[in-house]
């Protein structure tokens, strides 16, 4: 199937009834774009309450778009594992770490604080993806033998082994074949020409696009938006292009014969094997492809910041990605993107904004330094003081909210927002044929 056909499907060609406008309104693309716009409107409103200037507003939206895009990348990759193949991988952070670290070690300059090979960035990115896929292969070997819950424990142990290894001072710097290399240990590793910088430089170097970017930057500058904020937006848009590419790739995989076998394995591995499919091989391939994508997601996410340390890749990161997938609905690519957007906006960024609004508008006074003080205030019927303590500790309340949402979803809607959808296992439209002569093989008309 061509790119064109996929775009048609994404843009709502499947429902062949209704006017073109109705088709687009009901489509997945409209759902995602509509959701993003709705989130933007809410955040602009909050920003207005907080008294953000235009620069602050635009920057907040850029950060939101960045977070949505990077979560969408990671969630889509995870969807290949869990949504398509039923592999319960809770070591996502580890594979992202391998991708990011390998990219940095390959592409960092040889004279940097933590020396690298100094190869071009694209070599580093490919090496990072390959390394993540290779580590995925090693982790996938147990996947063949284990039940889903054992695999969960193995993958999280793997991701911790990876993090501990990067954290260790033994590997902080070492020499292979006369070349000095290192992981930086607890101090982390940095890179001058990170993906963010290189991609924007490349875009600027293309004559037509470069002048357009220059034009936008100067217009924005006149409106009071700093060039760095424009650059944040540009990189966020580049990430959105990557999201579309991931989506396309996954839709393509899902609708291919390969993807149908993966879904068969997810539903009932014994049946798939009985039909003569080498399910182990399929699982390994699926795991490796997903890990490579996770590596790329890590590179574009943490790698773009130019500096990482091992604690960037705590298991918590994995669980955030999982929650986004569960919100959206495992098995649905559109759901993955929707889940990523909702997670980034409502659970990740939202609580902080709400707390800021509350503390600006409510005049709560100063927060007590400990919980005991806050409860003491509650006894004195000073609810505002307790509230001030809660707002001051919004970071931990946010994670409690994350846990509550996760439990609520598992109890009431384990299939997520879009996971209930029927997945057509066919590469041709299964809708009612437009002409009666379509039923020529003796089959019943649906």
> Which positions touch other proteins (CB under 8 A)?
88, 141-142, 145-146, 148-150, 152-154, 156-158, 160-161, 164-165, 167-170, 319, 322, 326, 369-373, 375-376, 393, 396-397, 399-400, 402-407, 410-411, 414
Contacts with 290 (C-beta within 8 Å, 6 or more apart), sequence order: 77, 78, 80, 81, 87, 89, 136
Contacts with 56 (C-beta within 8 Å, 6 or more apart), sequence order: 47
Q: Are 64 and 86 in contact (CB under 8 A)?
A: no
Between residues 228 and 316, which has the closer beta carbon with respect to other proteins? 316
> Angle of helix 92-107 relative to helix 315-328, nearest 10 degrees?
120
Minimum gap (Å) between residue 9 Cβ and other proteins: 30
Per-residue CA distances from 405 to 89, 91, 116 (Å): 20, 21, 42
Between residues 87 and 250, which has the closer beta carbon with respect to other proteins? 87
Between residues 65 and 367, which has the closer beta carbon with respect to other proteins? 367
Per-residue CA distances from 41 to 35, 37, 61, 225, 446 (Å): 10, 6, 10, 19, 43
Minimum gap (Å) between residue 343 Cβ and other proteins: 13
The whole-angstrom separation of Cα 97 and Cα 124 is 14
What 8-state DSSP symbol labels residue 79? I
Minimum gap (Å) between residue 442 Cβ and other proteins: 40
Between residues 109 and 146, which has the closer beta carbon with respect to other proteins? 146
The whole-angstrom separation of Cα 117 and Cα 57 is 40
Q: Count CA atoms within 13 Å of residue 258 on its CB side.
A: 14
Minimum gap (Å) between residue 113 Cβ and other proteins: 20
Buried b (16+ CB within 10 A) or exposed e, 27-54: bbbebbeebbeebbeebeebbeeeebee
The whole-angstrom separation of Cα 351 and Cα 396 is 10
Between residues 360 and 370, which has the closer beta carbon with respect to other proteins? 370
Minimum gap (Å) between residue 274 Cβ and other proteins: 22
Radius of gyration of the chain (CA): 24
Between residues 57 and 159, which has the closer beta carbon with respect to other proteins? 159
Minimum gap (Å) between residue 179 Cβ and other proteins: 23
Between residues 179 and 369, which has the closer beta carbon with respect to other proteins? 369
Which tokens belong to 171? Answer: 């590997």
Q: Are 261 and 34 in contact (CB under 8 A)?
A: no
Between residues 338 and 391, which has the closer beta carbon with respect to other proteins? 391
Minimum gap (Å) between residue 376 Cβ and other proteins: 6
Minimum gap (Å) between residue 189 Cβ and other proteins: 16
Minimum gap (Å) between residue 318 Cβ and other proteins: 10
Between residues 204 and 393, which has the closer beta carbon with respect to other proteins? 393
Between residues 228 and 370, which has the closer beta carbon with respect to other proteins? 370
Minimum gap (Å) between residue 150 Cβ and other proteins: 6
Nearest to 341 by CA among 45, 82, 65, 24: 65
Q: What element of type H or E holds 37?
A: helix 28-49
Q: Are 249 and 243 in contact (CB under 8 A)?
A: no
Minimum gap (Å) between residue 358 Cβ and other proteins: 17
The whole-angstrom separation of Cα 391 and Cα 113 is 39
Q: Are 183 and 189 in contact (CB under 8 A)?
A: yes
Between residues 12 and 182, which has the closer beta carbon with respect to other proteins? 182
Nearest to 28 by CA among 278, 251, 347, 301: 251
């Amino acid at each position: 199937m061509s790119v064109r056909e996929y775009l048609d499907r994404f843009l709502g060609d499947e429902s062949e009834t209704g006017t073109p406008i109705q088709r687009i309104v009901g489509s997945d693309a409209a759902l995602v774009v509509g959701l993003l716009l709705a989130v933007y409107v809410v955040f602009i409103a909050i920003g207005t309450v907080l008294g953000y200037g235009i620069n602050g507003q635009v920057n907040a939206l850029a950060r939101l778009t960045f977070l949505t895009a990077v979560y969408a990348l990671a969630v889509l990759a995870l969807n290949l594992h869990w949504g398509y193949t039923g592999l319960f991988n809770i070591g996502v952070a580890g594979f992202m770490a391998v991708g990011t670290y390998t990219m940095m070690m390959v592409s960092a300059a040889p004279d940097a604080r933590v020396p690298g090979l100094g190869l071009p960035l694209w070599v580093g990115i490919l090496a990072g993806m390959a390394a993540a896929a290779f580590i995925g292969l090693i982790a996938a070997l147990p996947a063949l033998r284990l039940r889903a819950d054992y695999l969960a424990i193995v993958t999280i142990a793997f991701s911790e082994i990876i993090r501990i290894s990067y954290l260790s001072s033994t590997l902080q710097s070492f020499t292979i074949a006369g070349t000095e290399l290192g992981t930086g240990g607890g101090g982390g590793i940095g890179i001058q020409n990170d993906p963010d910088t290189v991609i924007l430089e490349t875009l600027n170097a293309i004559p037509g696009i470069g002048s357009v970017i220059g034009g936008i930057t100067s217009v924005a500058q006149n409106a009071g938006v700093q060039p760095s904020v424009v650059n944040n937006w540009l990189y966020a848009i580049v990430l959105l292009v990557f999201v579309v590419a991931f989506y396309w790739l996954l839709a393509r995989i899902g609708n291919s014969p390969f993807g149908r076998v993966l879904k068969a394995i997810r539903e009932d591995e014994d049946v798939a094997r009985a039909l003569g499919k080498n399910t182990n091989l399929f699982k390994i391939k699926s795991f490796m492809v997903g890990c490579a994508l996770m590596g790329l997601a890590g590179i574009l996410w943490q790698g773009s910041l130019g500096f990482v340390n091992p604690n960037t890749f705590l298991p918590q990161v994995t669980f955030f990605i999982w929650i986004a997938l569960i919100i959206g609905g495992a098995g649905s690519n559109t759901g993955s993107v929707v889940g990523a957007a909702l997670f980034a906006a409502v659970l990740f960024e939202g609580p902080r904004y709400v707390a800021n609004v509350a503390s600006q508008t409510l005049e709560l006074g100063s927060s007590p330094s400990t919980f005991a003080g806050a409860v003491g205030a509650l006894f004195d019927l000073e609810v505002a003081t307790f509230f001030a303590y809660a707002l001051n500790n919004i970071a931990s309340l946010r994670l409690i909210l994350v846990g509550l949402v996760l439990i609520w979803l598992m109890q009431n809607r384990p299939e997520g927002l879009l996971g209930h959808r029927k997945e057509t296992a066919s590469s041709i439209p299964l809708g009612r044929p437009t002409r009666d002569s379509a039923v020529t093989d003796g089959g019943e008309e649906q």
